[in-house]
Structure formats: C-alpha cells, structure tokens
Chain A
Amino acid sequence: MIAKVRAAETPNYLTAEQGIRSWLLTTDHKRIALLYIAAITFFFMLGGVAALLMRLELLTPTADLVQPETYNKLFTAHGVIMVWFFLIPSIPTTLGNFLIPLMVGAKDVAFPKLNLFSWYLFMTGGCITLYALASGGVDTGWTFYTPFSTVYSTTHVITAAIGIFIVGFSSILTGLNFITTIHRLRAPGLTWFRLPLFIWSNYATSVVMVLATPVLAITLLMIVVERVFQVGIFSPWLGGDPVLFQHLFWFYSHPAVYIMVLPSMGVVSELVAAFSRRSVFGYTFVAFASIAIAVISFLVWGHHMFVAGLSVYSAMAFSFLSYLVAVPSAVKVFNWTATLYKGSVSWDTPMLYAIGFIGLFTIGGMTGLFLAALGIDVHVTDTYFVIAHFHYIMVGGAVMGYLGGLHYWWPKISGRMYPETLAKASALTIFLGFNLTFFPQFVLGWLGMPRRYASYPPEWQFLHIISTAGATILGVGYLLPLVYLTWAWKFGPSAGPNPWRATGLEWQVPSPPPKHNFEVTPVITRKAYDYAGMKEELRLG
C-alpha cells in the first residue's frame, strides 16, 4: 500500500502544462478543483460584501444607510450568491474534485470532460445571475416565494432564475460524476468499508444533488413560465396554490442544507482522525449516518411551512421526521468526540476548525430541534432566531469545515505549508467573530426581531451593534486565510508528501500530485485511519 515517493523532479499537475489554454481546457480533476476554488472565492467575497452592507445598515434602528428596497436586494443577493454559488459547490467541487479520485486510488473522475463542462455551466449560470444582480437586482429573497416573485416584484426575477437553473445542472452533473467515480473507480482492495469517511459523506451529498436539484430546476421553470405568460401556476386567480410552490421549493432547499453540511462532516471525520491519531470511533455508524441523513433529508421539508397552512397532522409528521434527522447527526458528533478520547490530540489549525465545527454545529443542530417543535416554531418563524440557527449550521458548520479542509489539504494542493501561527490566530478570530455575530441574533429572534427588515425598534440596537462588530471581526478572519494561503502558494516552505503523517491514499503521492495521480494503481489491504498500524510500522522501521 505504501508507494515509494518519487523525487520532486517529475512534473506535477501544476507544471505538467503551461498557459491559460491548458487551464481552460483541462480535464484534470485537480486543475478543475482549482478553477472552482477561484470561482467560489470570488462569489464568497461578493456575498460577504452584501452581508457587510446589511450589517452596517443595521447599526442604526432606522433605514438610513440604504433604502429598504435596496436592503431587500442586498439580502436577496447575499442569499442567492452564498447558497448557490458558494455553499452548495463549496466542498464538493473543490476538495471533492481534488480528493475523491486520489482517495479512491483513481487517475481521474469517471467523466473528466463532463467535469469541465460542469465548471463552464457554473460560470455561465454565475454570470447570468450576476447580470441580474448588477442590472438592478432581485428583491424576492433567495426563496422566490410566489405570487410575489411571479406577479408583484418588478425586479429581474427571470434572469436570476435562469442563472440558478443552469447552476443547478452543474451541481447535478458533479453529483453524477462523483457517484459513478465512487462506484466504479475504486482501486483494487478498496472496499466500501475501507473508504475514508470523506468519500461516504460526499457520496451521500451527491445522491441528494442528483435527486433534489432537478425539482428545484422544474420549480424555477414554472416560475419563469408563470412570470412570462402571466398564466397562474401558483397564483390564485386560476385556482393555483402558492403553498404548492413552497412545497416544491423546500423539497429541494431543505435537502440542500445537507448538500452544504454533509461534505463538511466528511472533512471533520478526516481531521479528527488525523489529529488525534486514532481511527474514527464507530466508523460504520458514521458512514451510515451520512446515508441516513441523506435519506431523511427528503422527508422534512414541511418544517419550513408550519405557519403556511399545513394540516395539523402533516405538521406533526414533519415535526417528528425533523427530530429524527437529528439522530444520525448526533451519532456523528458523539463519535467524533469519542474519537478524541485517549487520542494523541494535537492542535494544528485544521483541528481548531474541526473542533470549532463540532461545537457550532451542535448549537445549530440543537436550535434546529427548537424549530422542529411546532409550538416554538410558530413563535420564532421568520425571526432572527431562524437566521442565527441556520448560520450556525452553514457558516459555523459548512464554512468552518471548508476552511479546515482547505488548510489540511493546502500542502497537498500547493505543495507548500502555510504560516501556522497566523493560521491559528485567524481560526480563533473567525470563531470569535462568528459567535459575536450570530449569538446575539438568537436573542434578537427570541425577542421578536423579524428577518428581512432594514429598521427595528431602538431597544434592540445594542444587540445589533454587537452583531455588526462581530461581522467585522469575522470579515477580517476570512480575509487573513485569503492572504496567507495565497502567499504560501508561492513562498511557503515545501510541505513534502505527508506533512501531517496521515493515513489515506492522497498522502502517499507527492505534493503537488503528478498529473495522473498514481504511477501504478495502488492495491489496498487496510482499513482507513489505520494509525495503530502506522505506528507499528514506524516502530519496526
């Protein structure tokens, strides 16, 4: 299993070909991952600017920095960009694209050209949506609720919907590629239960991508038809039902939450194992928890609609099923914690992110249970409590996992180490800034502050100021990795093939990996995370 590491003179995937053309026409999964990293970093900054403007507006109780109409466009831009152009593609298209073939011992994904095509679809959809946002914006919120989006809004709903429709197909084709790769391209001996948990969680993510995204696509298409022809699929004048739109929308958009957080869970499994030098406790349970989350995620969408006129019986069923999805999520949290127990824990930057993830995800998950409870949900629907809850999952969870993974695999991607002290400082800055931003929002929501308003009663100003201050710190925390990871790309010290002394096939090829990953297809004889065996080997020399 341990392949001899070749001398660094052999060209790697970065040096094998030169020129802009070799990047734009590449079918190498590693280069495509980098194309995605560039694209989603751009979108992340754009969405971040929108968020910062919103937070600045909320410093004062009145709508003074921007008009309420502009504020509506800002939160729509923030939501649309962050959901479809950053969070959904974040880990799968970057770390997933880079690592899945390496982790399964393959030379590429199953359909390399389709992979590149997905990136072009992503960019096309991105440009169209950006055009919609730049040429006047959209004021419907990222949820596009009817009939506002189809009849009353005078903004660029159609253009934005078409952009998201196209990006949806990018997501579908990426998922299709991953499922096929994981099924068909595993190296000899790499059975399902020897796979790293990152693969399991990306597999579950891909299933959700492939089965849920088309429903969003068709729903957006119905919106476009209704808006263009003014025919009333969801609008009541022909007998259409606006609530049907919400059903179809959340049938995608709730599972989409798991598209965002499942890959992060995969990253955390890798990090916790590598930095406590133990196999993940209850590997099989963690693996099947990913599948269970993917399956149950399709059955909980109604909890977004408890106040939309669901019958009391279906509300009870959705409430129960929403509690149920907490079980596999909790299994993961318990098992990561148990992995730390008696492990040789080291506090490198990726581990800080992993531990941050576990804590913040737990808070996000527990408050999710509040929201699954019918009585409490009615009280806090559409308040900052909901905002705080899902930002704990998506920013505290998904983004922390993404950054942890980016730091962990950056030496593999770039071949160079980042400055550790600075990275630790920025991880702590992000953790602090995040909590300062979003914890006050739980309180605000509980007090009744509704989401999507540019103004509020003056007695809430103090909490809003804390939140804006936190957002500023968070913004600085996000800028730091951008600076030092870029710096490390050129000037960081050489990382060597396995700086973390981690198990996993990706660490047995040089950093950066050669163009075709493996000189010889590896044969796998051991389970993932065999740190005990690694120690034994080192002892025996």
Chain B
Amino acid sequence: MVSAKSLALREHYATPQHQRDTATLGMWLFLATEVMFFGGLFTAFAVYRMYYTQGFLEGSREMTLVIGTVNTAVLFTSCLTMSLAIRAIADGRQFRTYVLLLVTAGIGLVFVALKFTEYYLHYEEHKVPGIWFTSNQPNSGPEELFFVFYFVMTGLHVIHLSIGIGLTALLAFRTAVGRFSPGYHTPISNVGLYWHFVDIVWSFLYVIFYVPGFH
C-alpha cells in the first residue's frame, strides 16, 4: 500500500520524475561538500605524512590491523545489503527491503562496536593524544600527531556512519508502514548514496592508517 502523501508532488515540480531527479542532484551536491570536508583532513594528513614518514609509520604499526581489516569487510558487506535493498524496493518487494535495511543498519552497528573496541584498546595502550599518550619511540611527537589524525578522522567517520545508521533504521520503519514503492523510493536511493560515500571514506582511512604499518 502506498500512502498518498509519499507520492505527493510539490507544486513547483512538473512531474514526479522531475521531483525525484532534483532530489538526487541535491544529494550528489551534498556529497561533493562532504568530499571537500574530509578532503581538508586528508590534505593535512598527507602533508604531515610527507614531513614525518618514519613517525607516521611507527604510528601505523600501533594499529590493530585485524580489527581494521575485519571492519573493512563488515562495512563492504553493508554496501551489498544496501544495494540489494534499493534493488528490492525497485522490484516492489517491501518486506525484503525492510529486512535488508535493518540488516544494513545492524551491520553498521557491528562496525561501530568494533571501532569502539579498538578505541578502548588504544586507551589501554596509552595512545589517546590529549588524554593519555605515552610512547617510547624516537619520533614520539609525529607519532602522537598521527594518532590525533587517526582519532579525528575515524571519529568523524563514525559520526557520519551513526547518522547513516539512524537514517537507514528510519527508512526501514517507513518501508514497513508502506511509504515506498517501485514508483517512489528516492529517500532510500539517496540514503544509499550517502551510505556508499561513508564506506568509500572508510576504505581510504583503512589505506592511510592501517596498511603502511603492515609487513
């Protein structure tokens, strides 16, 4: 059942298609701002990585590679379930969409849980800059700088992911009460775009923080 409200065409659009495509363009523009938002941090990181190659390498060796790698796999799986959810609603399979969206949000929660486990391990090892940081490395300053970026960047990523989890759960609920149909599921596609963006950010974070310390 599709409620009338979800299909309501705002007065300044010619057709539902017109309204949908406009919303999607808006989402892409928002993602462009997000690229620039994270871009500032990636640029700063790149500069310091060049200044302090050795110190940043030492920082990278302190990463919990196993959790990071598992988390990468976890998040990529959620990409799959999100894509399947969009496909399912396009096919009109609402229950399937509902389940897939819940699974996506659930996998997101697993990621967050693992991430916080990792933060806790860093805390145990006294690797939290500004709160408790010790190091016996010769490049302890740059190593701490590495951890500053690590916490700021993965922290921002977790905030973004949490917003995504909230939105996905909301969409699951709205799917359950029949707000979406093959003809109208723009919010799901657009949150899907956001979800994939957040995953792509993670894939870069994984590469810059975890991979360099791996031998």
A interface residues (Cβ-Cβ under 8 A, vs B): 101, 106-108, 110-112, 114, 172, 176-177, 179-180, 183-185, 210-215, 217-219, 221-222, 225, 228-233, 237-241, 244, 248, 251, 516, 521
- Complex CA gap A180/B25 in Å reads 7
> How far does the Cβ of A229 sit from chain B's closest Cβ, in whole Å?
3
Residues of B within 8 A of A108 (CB): 10-12
Instruction: List 22 A-B residue pairs with CB atoms under 8 Å apart, sorted by A's residue number.
Output: A108-B11, A180-B25, A180-B26, A210-B32, A211-B36, A214-B36, A221-B156, A222-B41, A225-B152, A230-B130, A231-B148, A233-B44, A233-B149, A237-B141, A238-B145, A239-B51, A239-B55, A239-B145, A240-B48, A241-B51, A248-B44, A516-B11
Residues of B within 8 A of A112 (CB): 10, 12
Q: Which residue of B lies closest to A188 (CB)?
A: B14
A111-B26, A180-B22, A516-B11 known; A222+B141 contact, CB < 8 A: no
Is B1 an interface residue, CB under 8 A from the partner?
no
Is B214 an interface residue, CB under 8 A from the partner?
no
Is B18 an interface residue, CB under 8 A from the partner?
yes
A110-B26, A185-B12 known; A239+B52 contact, CB < 8 A: yes
- Complex CA gap A29/B120 in Å reads 48
1/0 per residue, CB under 8 A from A, across B117-144: the answer is 0000000000001110000000001101
Q: Which residue of A lies closest to B143 (CB)?
A: A238
- Complex CA gap A177/B11 in Å reads 16
Selected from A176, A215, A219, A233, the residue in CB contact (under 8 A) with B145 is A233
- By the criterion CB–CB under 8 Å, are A184 and B33 in contact? no
- By the criterion CB–CB under 8 Å, are B29 and A179 in contact? yes
- By the criterion CB–CB under 8 Å, are A213 and B33 in contact? yes
| Most chain A beta carbons < 10 A, residue from B23, B36, B48, B144 | B36
Selected from B37, B47, B142, the residue in CB contact (under 8 A) with A217 is B37
Residues of A within 8 A of B37 (CB): 214-215, 217-218
Tally of contact residues, B, Cβ under 8 A:
40
Residues of B within 8 A of A251 (CB): 40
Is B116 an interface residue, CB under 8 A from the partner?
no
Known: A185-B13, A222-B40, A238-B141. 15 other contacts (CB 8 A): A176-B26, A179-B25, A184-B25, A211-B32, A212-B36, A214-B40, A215-B36, A219-B40, A225-B152, A229-B130, A231-B144, A233-B149, A239-B52, A239-B145, A244-B47
Q: Which residue of A lies closest to B11 (CB)?
A: A107
Residues of A within 8 A of B51 (CB): 239, 241
- By the criterion CB–CB under 8 Å, are A239 and B39 in contact? no
Residues of B within 8 A of A244 (CB): 44, 47
- By the criterion CB–CB under 8 Å, are B18 and A184 in contact? yes
A184-B22, A219-B40 known; A233+B32 contact, CB < 8 A: no
A107-B12, A232-B148, A244-B47 known; A215+B39 contact, CB < 8 A: yes
Residues of A within 8 A of B18 (CB): 184
A172-B33, A217-B37, A238-B148 known; A248+B43 contact, CB < 8 A: yes
> Which residues of B1-34 are within 8 A (CB) of A?
10-14, 18, 21-23, 25-26, 29-30, 32-34
Is B38 an interface residue, CB under 8 A from the partner?
yes
- By the criterion CB–CB under 8 Å, are B30 and A176 in contact? yes
A184-B22, A231-B148 known; A210+B33 contact, CB < 8 A: yes
Selected from A180, A183, A248, A521, the residue in CB contact (under 8 A) with B40 is A248
Residues of B within 8 A of A238 (CB): 129, 141-142, 144-145, 148
- Complex CA gap A215/B40 in Å reads 6
- Complex CA gap A110/B30 in Å reads 14
Q: Which residue of B lies closest to A218 (CB)?
A: B40
- Complex CA gap A401/B33 in Å reads 28
> Which residues of B40-65 are within 8 A (CB) of A?
40-41, 43-44, 47-48, 51-52, 55
Residues of A within 8 A of B34 (CB): 214
Residues of A within 8 A of B30 (CB): 176
| Most chain A beta carbons < 10 A, residue from B23, B37, B51 | B37
- By the criterion CB–CB under 8 Å, are B26 and A222 in contact? no
Residues of A within 8 A of B40 (CB): 214-215, 218-219, 222, 248, 251
- Complex CA gap A83/B23 in Å reads 30
- Complex CA gap A238/B32 in Å reads 32
- By the criterion CB–CB under 8 Å, are B26 and A241 in contact? no
- Complex CA gap A215/B32 in Å reads 12
- Complex CA gap A319/B32 in Å reads 28
Residues of A within 8 A of B131 (CB): 229
Residues of B within 8 A of A217 (CB): 37
- Complex CA gap A215/B11 in Å reads 35
> How far does the Cβ of B55 sit from chain A's closest Cβ, in whole Å?
7
> How far does the Cβ of B145 sit from chain A's closest Cβ, in whole Å?
5
- Complex CA gap A52/B119 in Å reads 51
> How far does the Cβ of A183 sit from chain B's closest Cβ, in whole Å?
6
- Complex CA gap A228/B131 in Å reads 11
> How far does the Cβ of A98 sit from chain B's closest Cβ, in whole Å?
15
- Complex CA gap A217/B40 in Å reads 9
- Complex CA gap A114/B26 in Å reads 11
> How far does the Cβ of A219 sit from chain B's closest Cβ, in whole Å?
6
Residues of A within 8 A of B152 (CB): 221-222, 225, 233
- Complex CA gap A343/B42 in Å reads 53
Residues of A within 8 A of B142 (CB): 238-239
- Complex CA gap A121/B48 in Å reads 34
Residues of B within 8 A of A101 (CB): 12
- Complex CA gap A230/B149 in Å reads 13
| Most chain B beta carbons < 10 A, residue from A239, A240, A244, A521 | A239
Residues of A within 8 A of B23 (CB): 111
- Complex CA gap A241/B149 in Å reads 14
> How far does the Cβ of B136 sit from chain A's closest Cβ, in whole Å?
16
Q: Which 7 A-B pairs have the closest CB atoms?
A: A229-B130, A107-B12, A218-B40, A214-B37, A214-B36, A231-B130, A238-B141
Residues of A within 8 A of B129 (CB): 229, 231, 238
> How far does the Cβ of A26 sit from chain B's closest Cβ, in whole Å?
14
Q: Which residue of A lies closest to B12 (CB)?
A: A107
> How far does the Cβ of B189 sit from chain A's closest Cβ, in whole Å?
16
Residues of B within 8 A of A241 (CB): 47-48, 51
Residues of B within 8 A of A225 (CB): 148, 152
- Complex CA gap A238/B156 in Å reads 22
- Complex CA gap A233/B29 in Å reads 29
Q: Which residue of B lies closest to A113 (CB)?
A: B10
- Complex CA gap A251/B43 in Å reads 12
- Complex CA gap A251/B39 in Å reads 12
- By the criterion CB–CB under 8 Å, are B33 and A214 in contact? yes
- By the criterion CB–CB under 8 Å, are A232 and B145 in contact? yes
1/0 per residue, CB under 8 A from A, across B143-177: the answer is 01100110010001000000000000000000000
